[in-house]
């Protein structure tokens, strides 16, 4: 691998959003620091291709009944893995899952990259947790790093189609999904009621009607009806997915110029931001701590992993409800997703049959799926994409904070309707450019010119990466 190519891959792998694509969160400052450190270490790693080595710790499990896995977030996906380990012990009482905790998703991506650069996958564990938005690039770049799980015996129709679209590569299934990234739109029903509206009034509506309601709410209460971290703004992606439309026509061809729905969505965001209906926060901490927990907004739209952030304000218990997203034309529910991760078997796994059996039985929707996901939800807030597991008594239970609504069953049902759209390895590159586009239009620049500029810039970046 050329030094330039290695450096670019490592740098891009380190600059993912702080949500880590699977509901983990942290401060924007922490993420920025990690990104800077990662970039610096990347330059060091590329100094001599021959000398680049992956970590030398023994990570692959040697025991006949043991598997090792890289994961992150002690409060989110690691409890889900522990739940799966316990569930699988009903099949194999001696089974042990050796969970090797990483500081974040970037550690896993770096481990795979370094192993590939060294031509030695023996430094990888049996299984890795990997971000949905980034796995296709890593399978394409390092096809020898993975083992597919096509023959694991998983009923793929029992898993959300959008979720498994990320891990279905070249017609083969590579990953078993862990967490559900389905987007929700949560509203303060007390604020809506104060302004003469109900949750039904914001369900299945057009974005134009939403803007009218949002402006009315802002005029009467001073509260916005939506906010987003504009340093990593996922609003355009989610809004467009709800239309069944992508920002890409294929992996390397952007779909911005001439995309009327994309233009309309930008117009909605800009109008909402300009009239106070939408707050575009400057950082993740401002988004969570000030706008959501600081009672500046009466609505939150994001991947459902945002729920624990909403629940931090105990005084608002019983005042929230969730529903689907508005759409451009209205008259229907909008479904989208944001974030998520899946488990992948590495080339270093010497017990692929055990790995596939474990994944199929638990996260893949087998007999242990309900036990796995009931505990994962209770202990870590991980919500399943497995349709059958989402029908358990635990999922059907009303949630007091959301006024008794069975939000977890609702989220799984919503997730089954999320449309599959074209993804791209350059997802995050384009997100940055679209953020700039929105800011420039807010400042009075011509929207068509800004869309053209964003498309030309992403085309330039893609061409540069291929040289």
Check if the beta carbon of residue 121 is closer than 8 Å to that of residue 112.
no
For residue 199, give the 3-state DSSP assignment.
helix
Angle between helix 77-88 and helix 369-380 axes, rounded to 10 deg: 150
Q: What is the pLDDT of residues 242-296, one digit of tens each?
A: 999 999 999 999 999 999 999 999 999 999 999 999 999 999 999 999 999 999 9
Supply 236's token pair.
């355009």
> In terms of C-beta density within 10 A (0-12 exposed, 13-18 middle, 19 or more buried), how is residue 47 classed?
exposed
pLDDT value for 441: 98
Q: Residues 226-241: what's their mean pLDDT?
A: 96
pLDDT value for 229: 96
Q: All domains of the chain, ordered by start, with CATH?
A: 55-181+339-391 (3.40.190.10), 183-336+422-465 (3.40.190.10)
pLDDT value for 379: 94
Per the DSSP assignment, residues forming a β-bridge with 342 are: 130, 177
pLDDT value for 39: 30
Q: What is the pLDDT of residues 70-100, one digit of tens each?
A: 999 998 999 999 999 999 999 999 999 999 9
Assess whether pLDDT exceeds 90 at residue 210. Answer: yes
C-alpha dihedral sign at 264, 21, 360, 355 = positive
Q: Distance (Å, rounded) from C-alpha 132 to C-alpha 154? A: 19
For residue 186, give the 3-state DSSP assignment.
strand
Check if the beta carbon of residue 123 is closer than 8 Å to that of residue 115.
yes
Confidence of residue 62 (pLDDT cuts 50, 70, 90): confident
> In terms of C-beta density within 10 A (0-12 exposed, 13-18 middle, 19 or more buried), how is residue 412 classed?
buried
Assess whether pLDDT exceeds 90 at residue 56. Answer: no
Supply 345's token pair.
């078997």
């Amino acid at each position: 691998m050329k030094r330039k190519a290695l450096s670019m891959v490592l740098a891009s792998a380190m600059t993912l959003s702080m949500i880590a694509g699977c509901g983990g969160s942290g401060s924007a400052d922490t993420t920025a620091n990690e990104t800077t450190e990662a970039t610096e270490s990347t330059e060091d790693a590329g100094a001599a291709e021959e000398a680049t080595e992956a970590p030398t710790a023994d990570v692959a499990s040697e025991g006949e009944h043991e598997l090792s896995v890289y994961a992150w977030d002690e409060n989110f996906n690691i409890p889900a893995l522990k739940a799966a380990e316990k569930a699988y012990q009903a099949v194999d009482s001696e089974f042990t899952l050796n969970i090797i905790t990483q500081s974040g998703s970037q550690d896993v991506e770096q481990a795979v990259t370094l192993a590939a650069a060294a031509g030695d996958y023996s430094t990888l564990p049996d299984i890795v947790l990997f971000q949905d938005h980034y796995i296709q690039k890593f399978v394409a770049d390092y096809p020898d790093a993975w083992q597919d799980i096509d023959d694991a015996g998983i009923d793929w129709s029992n898993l959300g189609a959008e979720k498994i679209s990320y891990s279905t590569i070249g017609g083969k299934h590579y990953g078993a999904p862990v967490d559900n990234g389905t987007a929700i739109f949560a509203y303060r029903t007390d604020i809506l009621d104060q302004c003469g509206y109900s949750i039904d009034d914001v369900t299945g509506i057009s974005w134009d009607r939403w803007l009218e309601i949002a402006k009315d709410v802002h005029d009467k209460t001073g509260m916005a009806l939506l906010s987003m971290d504009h340093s990593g703004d996922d609003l355009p992606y989610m809004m467009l997915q709800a239309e069944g439309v992508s920002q890409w026509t294929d992996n390397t061809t952007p779909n911005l110029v001439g995309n009327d729905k994309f233009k309309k969505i930008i117009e909605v965001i800009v109008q909402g931001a300009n009239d106070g209906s939408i707050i575009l926060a400057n950082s993740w901490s401002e988004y969570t701590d000030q706008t959501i927990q600081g009672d500046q907004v009466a609505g939150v739209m994001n991947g459902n992993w945002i729920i624990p952030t909403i629940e931090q304000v105990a005084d608002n218990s019983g005042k929230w409800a969730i529903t689907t997203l508005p759409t451009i034309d209205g008259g229907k529910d909008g479904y989208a997703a944001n974030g998520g991760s899946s488990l992948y078997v590495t080339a270093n796994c010497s017990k692929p049959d055990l790995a596939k059996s474990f994944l199929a039985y638990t996260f893949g929707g087998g007999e242990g799926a309900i036990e796995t996901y009931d505990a994962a939800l209770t202990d870590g807030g991980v919500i399943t994409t497995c349709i059958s597991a989402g029908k358990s008594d635990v999922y059907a239970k009303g949630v007091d904070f959301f006024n008794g609504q069975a939000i977890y069953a609702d989220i799984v049902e919503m997730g089954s309707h999320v449309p599959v759209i074209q993804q791209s390895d350059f997802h995050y590159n384009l997100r940055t450019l679209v953020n700039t586009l929105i800011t420039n239009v807010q400042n009075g620049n011509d929207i068509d010119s800004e869309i053209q500029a964003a498309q030309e810039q992403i085309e330039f970046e893609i061409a540069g990466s291929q040289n």
